[in-house]
């Protein structure tokens, strides 16, 4: 039975899942991660039924970086679980102007993707590290890059352009949008869980440590709160969201900050962490009695409400609102606050359904139904990997016949 390994690598963790390809579909076999890389390395994985397969700590010297973590997790999969993947699918945050769909990685693709590291410094270097590591150890193993920007590449020019000279747009300075794998999964899931709104005008709020919102129309993205980089739009755990570019100029010219220092500030010290001075974790903020924590939550909710209005304008109306991702799926309190800001659209929350984390959390009479739909970016990556490799196999057989 062919298996597909999905890898989602960050700066201090490597998440992975194993899917079995069978009967034209995919079945999840293993879900795990190696976290605490470089500090307290720990490997944990569970089976499809939730049973713990491994929970193991390692000396720091054994897992100092992402390639070492991938090697350790890979050795466990091969030697103890007898997993020999037919292919590996990766989440890559930025595909730039070159890639509007998943692609099999070769040296040329990898070199192109390296150019977008400055546009996603929190993610891109770590997304590419496992690809390089696997190519070095298993050069014949197919690897597929799946991009967070690809789902939004169908935006019209009015949503895609900045009001800057056109030659800059031609060079790739444009609004890309992110979290596309999550939004693509939601768009494909809605016909099954909410067929009455799936083909309509839907706002999806992907609320987690990284946060954005997307306007869907007939299952496609027409507008997103994020733009050229993953700094734009909603405030996030450590990123500010929308900010006047003049602030950046002020920090450089008046405060004497270097570009590297400004990058550090915008990616690591702002957002909920910067506003609260306490934490970038919504759970910690909700548990705190500090007024700064309350302000950070108020600000987050306020901005979600503002962008709901922007996306409603882009759609010329709203037929449904969907919460997804870590905060959106798990914080009933935050959902209730946001639903209150959507009252002008005709949204009416059902408190009992919200507390129970039901699929539909709005009252029957709500003009805009509200849903909670868990996302599954890893399954989306596995599906893209399977589809792309199957297509390549068909093309190869066709060439052989010719």
Is 148 assigned a catalytic role?
A: yes
Distance of CA 286 to the CA centre of its chain: 23
Contacting residues for 44 by C-beta, under 8 A, at least 6 apart: 32, 33, 35, 52, 54, 55, 56
Residues 188, 93: Cα–Cα separation, whole Å: 20
Catalytic residue among 35, 100, 148, 244: 148
Q: Which residues are catalytic?
A: 148
């Amino acid at each position: 039975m062919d298996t597909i390994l999905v890898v989602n690598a960050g700066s201090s963790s490597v998440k992975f899942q194993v899917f079995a390809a069978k009967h034209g579909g995919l079945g999840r076999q293993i879900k795990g991660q190696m976290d605490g890389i470089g500090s307290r390395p720990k490997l944990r994985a569970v089976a499809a039924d939730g049973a713990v397969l491994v929970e193991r700590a390692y000396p720091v010297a054994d897992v100092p970086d992402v390639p070492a973590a991938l090697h350790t997790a890979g050795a466990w999969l091969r030697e103890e679980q007898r997993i020999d993947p037919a292919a590996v699918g990766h989440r890559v945050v930025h595909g730039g102007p070159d890639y509007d769909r998943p692609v099999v990685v070769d040296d040329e693709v990898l070199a192109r993707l390296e150019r977008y590291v400055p546009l996603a410094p929190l993610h891109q270097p770590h997304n590419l590290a496992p690809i390089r590591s696997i190519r070095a150890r298993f050069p014949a193993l197919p690897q597929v890059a799946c991009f967070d920007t690809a789902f939004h590449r169908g935006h019209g020019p009015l949503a895609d352009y900045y009001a800057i000279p056109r030659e800059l747009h031609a060079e790739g300075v444009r609004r890309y949008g992110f979290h596309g794998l999550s939004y693509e999964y939601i768009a494909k899931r809605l016909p099954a869980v909410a067929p009455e709104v799936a083909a309509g005008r839907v706002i999806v709020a992907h609320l987690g440590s990284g946060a954005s919102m997307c306007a869907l129309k007939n299952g496609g993205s027409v507008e997103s709160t994020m733009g050229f980089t993953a700094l734009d739009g909603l405030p996030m755990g450590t990123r500010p969201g929308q900010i006047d570019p003049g602030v950046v100029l002020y920090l450089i010219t008046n405060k004497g900050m270097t570009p590297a220092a400004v990058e550090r500030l915008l990616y690591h010290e702002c957002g909920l962490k910067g506003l609260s001075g306490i934490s970038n974790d919504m759970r910690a903020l909700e548990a705190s009695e500090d007024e700064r924590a309350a302000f950070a939550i108020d600000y987050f909710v306020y901005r979600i409400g503002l962008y709901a209005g922007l996306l409603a304008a882009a759609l010329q109306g709203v037929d449904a609102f969907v919460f997804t991702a870590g905060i959106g799926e798990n914080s009933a309190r935050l959902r209730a606050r946001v639903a209150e800001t959507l009252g002008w659209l005709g949204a009416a929350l059902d408190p009992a359904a919200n507390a129970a984390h039901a699929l539909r959390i709005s009252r029957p009479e709500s003009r805009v139904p509200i849903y909670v739909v868990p996302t599954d970016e890893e399954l989306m990556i596995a599906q893209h990997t399977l589809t792309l490799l199957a297509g390549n196999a068909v093309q190869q057989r066709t060439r052989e016949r010719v």
